[in-house]
Amino acid sequence: MKLDVKELIKELSSLDGPSGYEKAVLELIEKKIEPLVDRVWYNKVGTLIAEKKGTGSGRLGIFAHADEVGYVVTKLEKGLFARLETIGGVDPKVIFAQRVKIYTAKGIAKGIVGVLPPHLQKEEHRSKVPSFDKIFVDLSCSELGEYVSVGDICVVDVKPVELNGKLCGKAMDNRAGCASLILAAQLLRNIRNYQDVYFVFSSQEEVTGLGAVSIAYELRLDRAIVVDVTHGDVKIPQFVQIKTGEGPALCVGPVIDKEFYSKLYQTAQRNNVKIQIEPAPGRSGTDTDEVQLSGTGVRTTLVSIPLMYMHTPVEVVDPRDVEETARLLALATTIE
């Protein structure tokens, strides 16, 4: 029953789970990971935890958020149109001319995010960048269009594809991370973990971070490794460029525990795990920031999978980076 990394990522990406509505994603993850661990359970605010007892002492949490960015219907307009609000940070430019799915009480309605055709565009339409106040969804192409209501959740309707061995689709942020945790759990069949390991598939990272911080408080972790994604193959002024295909990036900075980082780094070196180093001069913008501060403090590290075109429907990851991340996580559980 060995899991194939590409199939796993594609399966996870195909499911819809915007922040606060992760149930379908978590149910699949639960199915995949339950045979590999001692027990699984959900906390009160929608986070899935899988526990594997260790041979020694202490508690290590390994986090990946299960939610993705998405949209919610805010208002219905005459003629079967709807207005949207984002869940998480989404650039309005990337939703134009996309097919979308809306989860209504009666089933999934189809919609199209409309654009004025070039023939009818005035100069003002071409030059101004639209905001969500100007965007609308056309529901008239769906039999369930009339059942769309305020509060219904919406996602872009897209299936993952393979591009020269890389995977391209929505929600690679952070299904790639979730996949790496599941693969790590699989590797733990042959590696004895020292600390008790808690694989945490957290909710709502894209909006509030509630899922991670609540379970960190409850479990009173000693250490944590947060797995998320980072911008790959793009030049950001002042910053070193992280590349896809060269392994996960280890973060350095105030939100990273120096002692734990050092052991993680040495573990990677000793085992020839491909890694890159990514500086964060302040907050990292991931669950690491709040997990570090929970309770009396947690020794945190952040491992990021390089990803292109973040928060668009065509996010790209290299499955080799996901596998290398899984390997690093499994080895990290042997740190005493």
Partner 1 sequence: MYLKELTELDGVSGNEQQVREFISDKIKDKVDELKVDVLGNLIAYRKGTKGGRKIVLAAHMDEVGFMVTNIEDDGTLAFAPVGGVETQVMVGKIVRINGQTLGAIGYKAIHIQDKEQILKPLSIDQLRVYIGAKSKEEAARQVKIGDYVAFTTTFDQENNRLTGKAFDDRAGCSVLMDIIDKIDRYEDDVYFAFLVQEEVGLRGSAVVVEQIHPDIAIVIEGTTAGDDPELPEYQWATHLGDGPAITFMHRGYVVNKRVYESIIEVAEKYSIAHQAKRRTAGGTDAARFARTGAGTAAAVVSVPSRYIHSPVSMIDLNDYNNTVLLLQKILEQGEAFAR
Partner 2 sequence: MIDLIRKLTEAYGPSGREEEVHNLILQELEGHVDGYKFDNVGNLLVWKAGTTGKKVLFDAHADEIGLVVTNIDERGFLRVESVGGVPPHSYVGHRVRFPNAIGVVYVEGETEEERKKNFTNLNLDNMFVDIGARNRDEAMKVVPIGSFGIYDSHFFKNGDLLISKSMDDRIGCAIIVEILRRVKKPRNTIIGSFTVQEEVGLIGASVAAYSLVPDVCVAVDVTDSSDYPKSFKRHSMALGKGPAIKIKDRASISNRGVVEKLIEVAEQEKIPYQMEVLTFGGTNAAALQRTRAGIPSATVSIATRYVHSPSEIVSLEDVENTVELLINYAGKGV
List the one residue from 4, 53, 240, 262 that touches partner 1 (CB under 8 A).
240
Q: How far is the CB of 289 from partner 1 (least distance, A)?
A: 8
Q: What dihedral angle (degrees, nearest 10) is formed by the CA atoms of 144, 147, 149, 153?
A: -30
Which one of residues 9, 12, 19, 142 is an interface residue with partner 2 (CB under 8 A)? 19
In terms of C-beta density within 10 A (0-12 exposed, 13-18 middle, 19 or more buried), how is residue 232 classed? buried
Q: Which of 210, 273, 275, 331 binds partner 2 (CB under 8 A)?
A: 210
d(CA 119, CA 115) in angstroms, rounded, equals 11
Binding-site partner at residue 281 among partner 2, partner 1, none, CB < 5 to 8 Å by type = partner 1
Tell me the two tokens of residue 216.
């960190």
> What pairs with residue 68 in β-bridges?
18
Query: Tokens 């590349």 label which residue?
Result: 243
Q: Which of 24, 116, 141, 150 binds partner 2 (CB under 8 A)?
A: 150
Backbone φ and ψ of 161, nearest 5°: -130, 165
Q: How far apart are CA 335 and CA 95, in angstroms?
A: 44
Among 65, 83, 101, 327, contact with partner 2 (rule: CB under 8 A): 83
Per the CB < 8 A criterion, the answer to whether 169 and 161 are in contact is yes
**Shortest spacing between CB 113 and partner 2, in angstroms:** 14
The interface with partner 1 within residues 220-239 (CB under 8 A) comprises: 237-239
91 contacts: CB under 8 Å, gap ≥ 6 = 311, 312
Based on the shown chain and the rule CB under 8 A, indicate whether residue 322 belongs to the binding site for partner 2. Answer: no
Under rule CB under 8 A, residue 217 binds partner 2: yes
Secondary structure letter of residue 333 according to DSSP: T
Closer CB to partner 2, 194 or 217, in the complex: 217
The Cα–Cα gap between 19 and 86 comes to 10
218 contacts partner 2 (rule: CB under 8 A): yes
Report the partner that residue 83 touches, choosing among partner 2, partner 1, none (CB closer than 5 to 8 A by kind). partner 2
Q: Is the N-terminal amide bond of 174 cis, ω within 30° of 0?
A: yes
Under DSSP, is residue 312 helix (H, G, I), strand (E, B) or coil? Answer: coil
Of these, 254, 262, 269, 271, which contacts partner 1 (CB under 8 A)?
A: 254
Q: Which stretch binds partner 2 (CB under 8 A): 70-78, 113-121, 162-170, 255-263?
A: 70-78
Residue 110 vs 299, nearer CB to partner 1: 299
* Residue bearing tokens 């525990």: 257
132 binds, options partner 1, partner 2, none, Cβ within 5 to 8 A by partner type: partner 2
DSSP string, 6-70: HHHHHHHHHS--BTT--HHHHHHHHHHHGGGSSEEEE-TTS-EEEEE--SSS-EEEEEEE--B-E
Q: Are 45 and 203 in contact (CB under 8 A)?
A: yes
Query: What part of residues 151-170 is at the interface with partner 2 (CB under 8 A)?
Result: 151
Residue closer to partner 1, measured from CB, 98 or 208 = 208
310 makes contact, choosing from partner 1, partner 2, none, with CB < 5 to 8 Å by partner type, with none
* Residues within window 261-300 making contact with partner 1, judged by CB under 8 A: 277, 279, 281-283, 289, 292-293, 295-299
Contact region with partner 1 (CB under 8 A), list: 18-26, 159-167, 206-214, 253-261:
253-261
Interface ranges with partner 2 (CB under 8 A): 19-21, 43-47, 72-76, 83-85, 87, 132-133, 149-151, 204, 207-208, 210, 213-215, 217-218
Interface ranges with partner 1 (CB under 8 A): 237-240, 252-257, 277, 279, 281-283, 289, 292-293, 295-299
